[in-house]
């Protein structure tokens, strides 16, 4: 811990989303003269993230950005590092003996070697739920884009085609108030999605084996079901689970076959949970009515990816969590962890 007279040396490594100045403003507001700040900016999202399997010495790290030598030189003797994407491998941590706290402004510190950090006494904290509201709102927009033919109408007009046929009874969209929506995953995002869906008057099913519905949800008619029942009964299915060994690839050929004809599938969670070859087959066969995909196992997706060519798919480049509010929440969450560290208080979100 720093003394009462010496400010704590805090290194901030931001990017073009989590701006360093946003971190700095929040930390200064929380900590005042107790900190001495310095900042650098990574080029993400204008340049892609990296994955450790392709780089010697960085095995196990995912979704990071930054040259290890440049990062270590910048952090130097700092006691605290605040970042979203900067990597910290075991060998990098060996070069940063003064480091005591790493505040990662994201839901999971996948850019940090957690075992190495624990072994070296470096505490890692994160900001879970920073983008939960943003993703939940985006998911509702994605559902509406598919159920009310917004994407289909937009693409037709852009191509110079007035789709008057979308007003035909056998082609037009359906209102959520007459549909059953299945929500897979009932964490911070899933619960918000359910809260927003209630306003539409739809029947809502939730599948998550590790949580229970709140009393309010039960009183509002939300039903907790097994995954198999949700797949069979839902008109729209929206995915909000976390990626684990159990959920990797758990929405595949069998699950798509279990969905009723015309189902709309929405994934604003993570790509590795879905077998996209099986999804393509279900879409091209006409079994599924459509899909909205926001995240992918490989990002950026290849330009020749077959799903990009299907007319019944809406695809966005992993932007559901991107909002001004997300930046503010993440910066303030990281700043509060720095304040608690300086004051000898326990962290709110230890990893």
Indicate if the pLDDT at residue 197 is higher than 70. yes
Q: How far apart are CA 339 and CA 28, in angstroms?
A: 10
Q: What is the pLDDT of residues 12-45, one digit of tens each?
A: 999 999 999 999 999 999 999 999 999 999 999 9
The answer on pLDDT for 209 being more than 80 is yes
The fraction of the chain above a pLDDT of 70, given in percent, is: 99
Cα dihedral 278, 306, 320, 324, rounded to 10, equals 160
CATH class of the domain whose range is 8-128+324-342: alpha beta
Residue pair 41/14 in contact (Cβ under 8 Å)? The answer is yes
Helix (H, G, I), strand (E, B) or coil at 58: coil
pLDDT band at residue 253, thresholds of 50, 70 and 90? very high
User: Looking at residue 314, what is its pLDDT?
Assistant: 94
302 exposed, middle or buried (CB, 10 Å; 0-12, 13-18, 19+)? exposed
* Predicted local confidence at residue 56, as pLDDT: 87
Task: Work out the average pLDDT over 70-93.
Answer: 98
Residues 6+ apart with CB under 8 A from 155: 311
Q: Which residue has the tokens 């009393």?
A: 215
Q: What is the DSSP letter of 32?
A: G
Given 155, 175, 178, 299, the catalytic residue: 299
270 given a catalytic annotation: yes
In angstroms, rounded to a whole number, what is the distance separating the alpha carbons of residues 83 and 308? 33
pLDDT at 300: 87
Q: What is the pLDDT of residue 46?
A: 95
Q: Is residue 1 pLDDT above 90, yes or no?
A: no
Question: Residues 6 or more apart from 264 whose CB is under 8 A from it?
Answer: 143, 146, 147, 235, 236, 237, 288, 289, 290, 291, 292
Q: How far apart are CA 85 and CA 47, in angstroms?
A: 12
- The pLDDT of residue 118 is 97
What is the pLDDT averaged over residues 123-127? 98
Sorting pLDDT into bands at 50, 70 and 90, what band is 4?
A: low
Verify cis geometry, omega within 30 degrees of 0, for the bond prior to 300: yes
Domain range annotation of the chain: 8-128+324-342, 132-315
Question: Residue 204's pLDDT is what?
Answer: 98
Interval 182-204 mean pLDDT = 97
> Can you name the CATH fold of 132-315?
Rossmann fold (3.40.50)
Percent of the chain with pLDDT over 90: 92
Distance CA 158, CA 348 (A): 48
Q: What does the pLDDT look like over 256-312, one tens digit per residue?
A: 999 999 999 999 999 999 999 999 999 999 999 999 999 998 888 999 999 999 999
Residue 130 tokens read as 């920073």
Question: Which pLDDT value is given to residue 348?
Answer: 97
Helix ranges (H only) for 89-131 are 90-94, 114-119
Farthest-apart Cα atoms in the chain, separation: 74
Instruction: Give the pLDDT band (50/70/90) at residue 2.
Output: very low
Residue of 106, 151, 240, 318 marked catalytic: 318
State the Cα–Cα distance between residues 250 and 187, nearest whole angstrom: 17
Among the options 123, 270, 339, 341, which is catalytic? 270
Angle among Cα 121, 123, 128 to the nearest 5 degrees reads: 155
Domains 8-128+324-342 and 132-315 belong to one CATH topology = yes
Residues 72-96 have a mean pLDDT of: 98
- Could you tell me the two tokens for 93? 């941590």
Tens of pLDDT along 129-184? 999 999 999 999 999 999 999 999 999 999 999 999 999 999 999 999 999 999 99
The average pLDDT across 100-107 equals: 96
């Amino acid at each position: 811990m720093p003394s009462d007279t010496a400010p704590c040396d805090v290194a901030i490594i931001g990017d073009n989303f989590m701006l360093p100045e946003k971190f700095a403003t929040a930390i200064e507001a929380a900590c005042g003269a107790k900190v001495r700040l310095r900042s650098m900016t990574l080029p993400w999202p204008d340049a892609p993230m990296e994955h450790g399997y392709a780089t010697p010495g960085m095995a196990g790290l995912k979704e990071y950005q930054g040259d290890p030598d440049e990062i270590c030189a910048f952090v130097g003797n700092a006691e605290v590092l605040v970042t979203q994407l900067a990597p910290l491998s075991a060998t990098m941590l060996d070069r940063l003996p003064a480091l005591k706290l790493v505040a990662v402004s994201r839901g999971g510190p996948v850019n940090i070697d957690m075992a190495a950090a624990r072994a070296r006494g470096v505490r890692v904290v994160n900001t879970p739920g920073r983008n939960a509201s943003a993703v939940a709102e985006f998911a509702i927009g994605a559902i509406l884009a598919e159920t009310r033919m917004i994407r289909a109408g937009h693409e037709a007009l852009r191509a110079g085609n007035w789709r008057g046929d979308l007003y035909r009874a056998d082609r037009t969209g359906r209102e959520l108030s007459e549909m059953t929506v299945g929500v897979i995953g009932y964490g911070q995002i899933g619960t918000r999605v359910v809260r927003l869906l209630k306003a539409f008057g739809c029947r809502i099913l939730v599948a998550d084996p590790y949580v229970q519905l709140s009393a309010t949800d039960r009183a509002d008619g939300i039903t907790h079901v097994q995954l198999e029942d949700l797949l069979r009964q839902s008109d729209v299915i929206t995915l909000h689970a976390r990626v684990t060994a159990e959920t990797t690839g758990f929405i595949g050929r069998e699950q798509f076959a279990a969905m009723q004809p015309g189902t709309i599938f929405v994934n604003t969670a993570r790509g590795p949970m879905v077998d996209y070859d099986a999804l393509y087959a279900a879409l091209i066969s006409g079994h599924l009515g459509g899909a909205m995909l926001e995240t992918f196992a490989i990002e950026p997706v290849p330009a020749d990816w077959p799903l990009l060519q299907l007319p019944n798919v809406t695809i966005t480049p992993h932007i559901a969590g991107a909002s001004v509010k997300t930046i503010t929440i993440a910066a303030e969450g990281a700043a509060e962890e720095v304040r608690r560290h300086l004051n000898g208080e326990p962290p709110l979100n230890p990893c």
